[in-house]
Chains A and B, each alone.
Chain A
């Protein structure tokens, strides 16, 4: 089954890509979202993540903001250029009103400051899922 077909099926699992240069964040978020019923791929560098985005359509991208190399804000812009329907959630340990405003301006669905509860980020993804499924 190809990716586009997968995503038109309302019962199919949503595809999530997580990008954070701190390995601990990827390591912990992946099983948590798998448990919540999502397919998850994780990346710790933005180049590999962007390369994967070019190969496969993801429903949801969760990205850190401050990273080595290409930062999350640039990654967010490129995702929105490549796949405008993909919902993006920004997570950051350096939250400022300016970075939040810029994220929303670039099309982020939500902006979550670290540390956050697992249940909170899952709730955010659930809200985004509802929006995505309602569009379907």
Chain B
């Protein structure tokens, strides 16, 4: 479903309904299975599931979910799916500020439900109940009473806004149509510079202004919300139009500017539509000698190459900032619009208003011969998968995880090795993103869709093919990258083929995804990681995943469960016993008790055993235990005898051809490897958990430090707490995963009983080096063997 947001798929309501029903069935199975595994330890998870399911069903029926009854909503919680509740204007300001981090005023919305309550309580829903004379309407509204519930909500939210922005701010109040009403019309200009204590009167006055302008009054006209936001003092104001105007065949943004106190002194600028937004043409007013324009105008020499007709109100860098905001919002909206901006006291462009100009570009803008143009264009790369459709132009920049965000220029076409979530914030800066490894189902792809940044994931050899500094045009929907700037292709950016935030299907899909996708439960070790805090299907699944891994640790102690499962002992050439439970393919209860290595088909297990069975990694010498060691471990010995399952259980590998969950209990420590290994790097992961030991805490922690140092070199992300280590690695190729699993097997053998010998900090680094050298020798030896094997003449048949 999330992928449908990216514009790659054509879908309808039937798809949304069937997807939600299928997903709900699957999540129910997850909750059911966790309870089956844990002997009904988590019955309240069923309640959380039902709550989320009810919300999704309501949205599918056309409802607005739990927010439908909210009278006010703060900008930080608004998203596109709430447009029917708060209107386009509020959503645009909120999204610009909180999702794209553009300069836009903070505020809150009095929702359509809030406004309706006001109309209802005062009997204004009846046609012309307040008369037709504008002055009479205003008089009637001024005497109207704001219901107490709404009054309290507005005052409470005003107070919260003052706390966010400072108590000295003034407020603006604006009516905005909700639910797609009057999308093409410019909303009212609103009331500005309102003292916070007068906010209720200002709300009534603005609604009166709206009502007095209506030629007819009916139910649909009541679907309005109010936007209440900070009034930003500005010295200059102007507009940006993204409706294409051409200067020398290049499509431009048209920007106007005028001093706030002289709105008639308008200057015009035309800048290119792509970073760095070069100034292509300007229409600058001549300034009279002695006018104080020098204070307001900036360096005229900056306009080198442009016909000089006097100092301009706006310098190029400021125009660049405005253009950056405009193109970001254009990408966000997906259609042409006009934006009103102001120059704030801090010299930044602040967004004051956004309203659509028309739904789409004129069809006449579509070049007739685009197919021919593209046929003759230099196609540099084709392939991968679309994470977010869209067309972008820019310069290629190779980005790695160690690069600082500030080093990546705005408007770049970022090319990376992996679709690492670490690049999420980068998406606010770049025009497009291309990764060699990653899938549209990953986290970064979700963020790309949220930000509507064109993105291609899994494009093989993208780093090799796309050289740093090259100018390219990316068509993410077609999974193509062309050399240079293909202007006719860029004309299609607002053609309507993409799914836009104003499409009703987009609103419903976003509404559904709000209760499916977000992951609020991040840290399994946190107290917040609880059933009560599961607010989405993703939370429920993540909670169930973490708890099921814990249950798997204990599973071998569950005689009731294990007694029925056909696990078999693996015949190993090392002093260790592992039982395997095959969960794919056919497994017969009558199968022999033991399974031979050559019968194992699980690739992850084979890789792990390859490392585990390296003889020189096993320390076969008898450990020299001192009395102190025995005393320090004696509590764990008693604990072991008392029977905590992790000390008593068998070593169990639950396996499939591409999956392994391996629980090991070696002496007094336990470890888990949970991994999926396939040809698709985007799906691959390795989870490793290690805890415990016999020695005192300092030595156990040193062993964990050793493991941490080795895993760091493999690229794992880790959390360490005392002698507990939890490590994760995602999106590695199959070959890398196999190599890492071999190393984990080797590490398991190498660190067995090693805690007792960790007598000093120095020993950690020494043993890290020793392990790495042993693994390296082992790897070399394997390669030599393979080479020798290849040299052997083939046997005659």
Interface residues of A (CB under 8 A from B): 20, 22, 24-25, 27-32, 34-37, 91, 93-94, 114-119, 121
A22, A32, A114: the one within 8 Å of B497 (CB): A32
The verdict on A118 contacting B477 (CB below 8 Å), with A22-B12, A25-B12 known, is yes
B8 near A118 with CB under 8 A, answer yes
Query: Considering only CB atoms and an 8 Å cut-off, how many residues of chain B contact the other chain?
Result: 29
Would you give the 0/1 interface string for B8-46, flagging 1 where the beta carbon is closer than 8 Å to chain A?
111111110010000000000000000000000000000
B15 near A93 with CB under 8 A, answer yes
Q: B492 near A: Cβ within 8 Å? A: yes
A57 to B: closest C-beta gap in Å: 21
B363 near A37 with CB under 8 A, answer no
B10, B478, B498: the one within 8 Å of A29 (CB): B10
The verdict on A119 contacting B478 (CB below 8 Å), with A114-B11, A114-B14, A114-B15 known, is yes
CA distance A27 to B7 in the complex (A): 12
Interface stretch of the complex, out of B206-214, B253-261, B499-507, B519-527:
B499-507
B12 near A37 with CB under 8 A, answer no
The closest CB in chain A to the CB of B489 belongs to A35
The verdict on A28 contacting B363 (CB below 8 Å), with A37-B370, A114-B10, A114-B14 known, is no
B13 near A31 with CB under 8 A, answer no
B496 near A27 with CB under 8 A, answer yes
16 A-B pairs whose Cβ atoms sit less than 8 Å apart in the complex: A20-B12, A24-B12, A24-B505, A25-B10, A25-B12, A27-B496, A35-B495, A36-B371, A93-B12, A114-B10, A114-B11, A116-B9, A116-B10, A117-B8, A117-B10, A118-B7
A114 to B: closest C-beta gap in Å: 6
A115 near B11 with CB under 8 A, answer yes
B391 to A: closest C-beta gap in Å: 10
Which residues of B342-381 have CB atoms within 8 Å of chain A's CB atoms?
360, 363, 366, 370-371
A contact residues around B505 at 8 Å (CB): 24
A contact residues around B10 at 8 Å (CB): 25, 28-29, 91, 114-118, 121
Q: Is the interface of A mostly helix, strand, loop or mixed?
A: helix
Q: Is the interface of B mostly helix, strand, loop or mixed?
A: loop
CA distance A32 to B371 in the complex (A): 12
Q: B4 near A: Cβ within 8 Å? A: yes
A contact residues around B18 at 8 Å (CB): 93
B9, B366, B495, B503: the one within 8 Å of A115 (CB): B9
A contact residues around B370 at 8 Å (CB): 35, 37
The verdict on A28 contacting B12 (CB below 8 Å), with A36-B371, A37-B370, A119-B478 known, is no
Which residues of B386-429 have CB atoms within 8 Å of chain A's CB atoms?
389
CA distance A118 to B389 in the complex (A): 10
CA distance A116 to B11 in the complex (A): 7
The verdict on A35 contacting B9 (CB below 8 Å), with A27-B503, A118-B477, A118-B497 known, is no
A114 near B12 with CB under 8 A, answer yes
The verdict on A24 contacting B363 (CB below 8 Å), with A35-B370, A118-B8 known, is no
CA distance A22 to B694 in the complex (A): 67
New A-B contacts (17) at CB < 8 Å, excluding given A24-B499, A32-B497, A114-B12: A28-B497, A29-B497, A31-B360, A31-B497, A35-B366, A35-B492, A35-B495, A91-B10, A93-B12, A93-B14, A93-B15, A115-B9, A115-B11, A115-B15, A118-B389, A118-B497, A121-B10
B contact residues around A28 at 8 Å (CB): 10, 496-499
B contact residues around A91 at 8 Å (CB): 10
Q: Which of A32, A115, A118 has the most CB of B within 10 A?
A: A115
CA distance A64 to B389 in the complex (A): 24
Would you give the 0/1 interface string for B216-258, flagging 1 where the beta carbon is closer than 8 Å to chain A?
0000000000000000000000000000000000000000000
B130 to A: closest C-beta gap in Å: 36
The closest CB in chain A to the CB of B361 belongs to A31
A contact residues around B371 at 8 Å (CB): 36-37
A contact residues around B495 at 8 Å (CB): 31, 34-35
B363 near A34 with CB under 8 A, answer yes
